[in-house]
Structures are given as C-alpha cells and as structure tokens.
Structure 1
Amino acid sequence: MLEQPLPNGKVFYLALPPRETVKHSWSEEAVITSDVKVKAQWQATHVFGQAHRHLVFPAPELQEATTFDQAEHGEPDFSETEQLFWADEKTHRVEEIT
C-alpha cells in the first residue's frame, strides 16, 4: 500500500494480486480475482475561542438526531453498507460519465 498526502486529504494506492485463470482436472477453467471493500471517515476538531467542536464526516442527514459516539461509530463494519458516519462504495459512488 502506498499513501500520498494531498493538501485536502490522502490518496491510498493498493496493489492487488493479478487475475488468475486456473484449469481444473475436469477441464473447466476458473478465474480468481480480488475485491476491495472501502470505508472512509474524516474527523477534525474545530476550535473557536474557548470552545471547540468535534466534527465527523460523512454525517447523517440533518433531520436525524444521531450524534457521533466513538464507541458506537468509531470502527467500520465491513459487513454493512450505509453505516452511519462512514462512506463506502455503495453510499458514495463515482458518477459515470455517459
């Protein structure tokens, strides 16, 4: 894994094993591939005067009353999509240009 810092974040590059075609003894072929599941979260503390505020993104919709709790929302659950306070490949899809 290679990490590249950016002015507004980080980029991570992952090297996955190449696709592999395997021939079974009964003459059938199988293709072995790799998958990556992604979860991302950004946290920052905003200080203004004597007060400070802990910010976590992505945040739930504004109408939700849920507030961030490190014990409940601090670790990603890769078996779940649309997990509060976590972006994943389902909730934050790249728009395809047509």
Structure 2
Amino acid sequence: MVHRTIRASSKVAILHPTIEIIGALAALITTLGWIPQVAKVARERRAGDISLFATGSIATGVLLWTLYGLLIGSWPVILANGVTFLFVIAILGMKLRFG
C-alpha cells in the first residue's frame, strides 16, 4: 500500500482590496438572506411550501463548501458557509417537524 502525504500549499493569494470587499459582501448577503426564511417558518410553524429536496440539496452543497474552506484554510469561506449551513439545517429541521 502506498501512502501519500498531502501538504497544504504555502502559496497565499493576495487579492486586491476591492475583490475582498466584493467577496465579503457576497458572503454576508447570502448568509444573512436565510434569516427571514428561518424566522418565517419558526413564527408560522408551517413549512409546507418548502421543498425538502431543494433544501436538502442546498444543505449538502453548503456543507461541501464549508469542507472546501477547511481544506484550503479560507476562514471567510468556512465562516460564511458554516453559518449558512446552520440556517439551512434549521429550515430543514422545521420542514421535517412542521411539514
């Protein structure tokens, strides 16, 4: 059996501040955009109009983005997707509970 060691690259991308701001705004908007949906489902205690498949797919994708962020060591990717994952999982849980 051959064992291979995977090493993280020591290369660090230095991005223009404008690019960093765009990325930060995108992360903030896409993460916080879930709050109204979480609040609505929690308040109304009904989730009949929410697709279980779509929400599950989004949860899976966001979890994979979080894993990707961990693997490349990108805290913005980790934090934005980690928080988004929690929001989507909350919606998924309420969907399963309230239908």
TM-score by length of 1: 0.19
- Which is bigger in relative contact order (C-alpha 8 A, separation at least 6)? 2
Q: Structure 1 or 2: larger helix share?
A: 2
TM-score by length of 2: 0.18
Q: Which has the larger radius of gyration?
A: 1
Q: Structure 1 or 2: larger strand share?
A: 1
